[in-house]
């Protein structure tokens, strides 16, 4: 079996003596797959050498990993940057999450066409690496939007392989797919149509099928599209919750919040997470319910994301301004209504989920959203989850959460009020459902589902 992903399970950092320190890679895909593939001799993992230290390790022949059969691809830095920043994150991410301001963006100019060629080149480098590595009849599991052309390339180069592609984001509908240049839309849809294509929710699988039939023709064969998902590993979360740094972070948060109710959000700082509207809704909550002033704190525990992309830099500025506006309007000497923390601090994030009375997860659109599922598993306060109906996790947690329309600030404020005022018996009942549903899809089952579909 070969797993193919942009980000691998290990990153490297060069030391002063010329050796390389290994660090566990970040991201939901790595978190789900790494424990399952560690020390498996029959599993290979192909990924990109992302940092300069990664590329140096490859050049020195030191990119082997202790626990994995890992192959890192040292790509041309300029091509890799165009593939990642311009196409994967500034085009496909925005397209699939419905983020484009179509009166202004995107602009498919010569620069974009050059970047598209880099996307093709990077995908071909991955396809070539798989073709070189794979034995006859191997299962190949390709992950996410960075590598959407690999399946089609392998279909031509190695038709003996059992290939599946899994997309961890949403997929856009048939009207939105028309935004792409015809050649790009055709390349993506025709490639993913050659193999079983998986998504976290059935609605994303249906959107892909509808888009592909729009691009390729109403009667085009679009492969076997399926929905499968994974949740957090409860045992791993339990061990992380017990770590001294997490317990210290919980204690620190308790000292700041005191006996006030705590609303928490934990997100990367990027536009699809809808952070600014969350602050607007909280501001409206405090305006409409003066009895809640000084009785509630909103902790926004945010991680930097893709700071090299101007749109993300601009959104971070908007987030900081929106938080400051709430504090300027409502703060008192002994009460700061918003605690904004933009450090990359995993222990702090787990602490926030554990201490929260209300967890707000209101993305514009999300393929899954693991935070919504991690929260109930580490929280022992019967915390209420207010969840966007446009997150893939909503399909899993719907019976236990409160539904949020991510665009409706008035409705979101009302949902936050409902959550804060909910009776203990209902909180306990909903929390039990959330815990059960969040633990219902272990990563091992998700991996087995991909393998089964690839072989069928």
* CATH code for the domain of 363: 3.40.50.2000
Q: Report the number of distinct structural domains present in the chain.
A: 2
Whether the Cβ atoms of residue 163 and residue 192 lie closer than 8 Å to each other:
no
Within this chain, do residues 148 and 31 fall inside the same structural domain, yes or no? yes
Within this chain, do residues 51 and 133 fall inside the same structural domain, yes or no? yes
Residue 442 has, within 13 A of its CA and on its CB side, a CA count of 10
DSSP 150: H
Range of the domain at 105: 2-230+445-455
Within this chain, do residues 181 and 42 fall inside the same structural domain, yes or no? yes
Helices (H) and strands (E) in the chain, counts: 19, 15
Q: What is the pLDDT of residues 176-219, one digit of tens each?
A: 999 999 999 999 999 999 999 999 999 999 999 999 999 999 99
Within this chain, do residues 85 and 158 fall inside the same structural domain, yes or no? yes
- Phi/psi of residue 7, nearest 5 degrees: -95, 135
The three-state secondary structure class of 300 is: strand
Within this chain, do residues 222 and 257 fall inside the same structural domain, yes or no? no
Within this chain, do residues 11 and 86 fall inside the same structural domain, yes or no? yes
Within this chain, do residues 202 and 272 fall inside the same structural domain, yes or no? no
Helix (H) or strand (E) holding 347: helix 346-355
Record the tokens describing residue 226, joined without a space: 């399926």
Within this chain, do residues 214 and 321 fall inside the same structural domain, yes or no? no
Q: What is the pLDDT of residues 387-402, one digit of tens each?
A: 999 999 999 999 999 9
Q: Tell me the pLDDT of the chain (456 aa) as tens digits.
A: 999 999 999 999 999 999 999 988 878 889 899 999 999 999 999 999 999 999 999 999 999 898 999 999 999 999 999 999 999 999 999 999 999 999 999 999 999 999 999 999 999 999 999 999 999 999 999 999 999 999 999 999 999 999 999 999 999 999 999 999 999 999 999 999 999 999 999 999 999 999 999 999 999 999 899 999 999 989 989 999 999 999 999 999 999 999 999 999 999 999 999 999 999 999 999 999 999 999 999 999 999 887 778 888 999 999 999 999 999 999 999 999 999 999 889 999 999 999 999 999 999 999 999 999 999 999 999 999 999 999 999 999 999 999 999 999 999 999 999 999 999 999 999 999 999 999 998 999 999 999 999 998
Which among 232, 228, 199 has a CA at the least distance from the CA of 373? 232
Within this chain, do residues 226 and 335 fall inside the same structural domain, yes or no? no
Within this chain, do residues 270 and 412 fall inside the same structural domain, yes or no? yes
DSSP 307: T
Within this chain, do residues 293 and 337 fall inside the same structural domain, yes or no? yes
Within this chain, do residues 271 and 377 fall inside the same structural domain, yes or no? yes
Q: What is the pLDDT of residues 85-115, one digit of tens each?
A: 999 999 999 999 999 999 999 999 999 999 9
């Amino acid at each position: 079996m070969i797993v193919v992903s942009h980000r691998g399970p290990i990153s490297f950092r060069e030391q002063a003596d010329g050796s390389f320190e290994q660090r566990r890679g970040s991201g939901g895909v790595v978190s789900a797959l790494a424990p399952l593939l560690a020390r498996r001799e029959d599993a290979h993992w192909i990924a990109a050498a992302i940092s300069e230290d990664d590329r140096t390790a490859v050049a020195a022949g030191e990119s082997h990993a202790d626990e994995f059969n890992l192959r890192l691809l040292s790509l041309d830095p300029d091509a890799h940057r165009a593939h990642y920043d311009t196409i994967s994150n500034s085009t496909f991410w925005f397209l699939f999450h419905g983020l484009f301001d179509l009166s202004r963006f995107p602009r498919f100019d010569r620069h974009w066409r050059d970047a598209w060629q880099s996307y093709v080149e990077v995908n071909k480098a991955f396809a070539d690496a798989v073709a070189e590595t794979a034995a006859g009849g191997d299962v190949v599991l390709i992950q996410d939007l960075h590598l959407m052309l690999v399946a089609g390339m392998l279909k031509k180069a190695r038709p003996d392989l059992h290939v599946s592609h899994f997309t961890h984001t949403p997929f856009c509908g048939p009207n939105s797919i028309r935004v792409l240049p015809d050649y790009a839309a055709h390349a993506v849809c025709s490639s993913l149509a050659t193999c079983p294509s998986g998504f976290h929710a059935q609605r994303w699988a249906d959107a892909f099928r509808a888009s592909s039939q729009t691009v390729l023709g109403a009667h085009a064969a679009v492969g076997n599209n399926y929905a499968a998902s994974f949740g957090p590993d409860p045992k791993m979360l339990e061990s992380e919750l017990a770590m001294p740094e997490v317990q210290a972070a919980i204690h620190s948060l308790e000292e700041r919040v005191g006996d006030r109710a705590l609303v928490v959000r934990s997100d990367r700082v990027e536009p699809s997470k809808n952070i600014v509207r969350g602050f607007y809704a909280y501001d409206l909550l405090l305006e409409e319910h003066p009895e809640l002033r000084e009785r509630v704190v909103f902790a926004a525990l945010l991680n930097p994301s893709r700071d090299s992309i101007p749109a993300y830099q601009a959104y971070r500025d908007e987030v900081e301004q929106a938080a400051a506006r709430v504090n300027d309007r409502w703060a008192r000497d002994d009460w700061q209504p918003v605690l904004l923390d933009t450090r990359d601090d995993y222990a702090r994030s787990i602490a926030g989920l554990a201490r929260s009375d209300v967890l707000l997860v209101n993305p514009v659109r999300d393929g899954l959203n693991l935070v919504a599922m991690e929260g109930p598993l580490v929280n022992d306060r019967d915390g209420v989850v207010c969840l966007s109906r446009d997150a893939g996790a909503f399909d899993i947690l719907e019976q236990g959460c409160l539904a949020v329309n991510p665009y409706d600030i008035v409705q979101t404020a009302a949902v936050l009020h409902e959550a804060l005022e909910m009776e203990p018996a209902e909180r306990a009942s909903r929390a039990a459902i959330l815990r059960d549903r969040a633990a219902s899809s272990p990563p091992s089952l998700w991996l087995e589902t991909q393998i089964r579909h690839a072989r069928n």
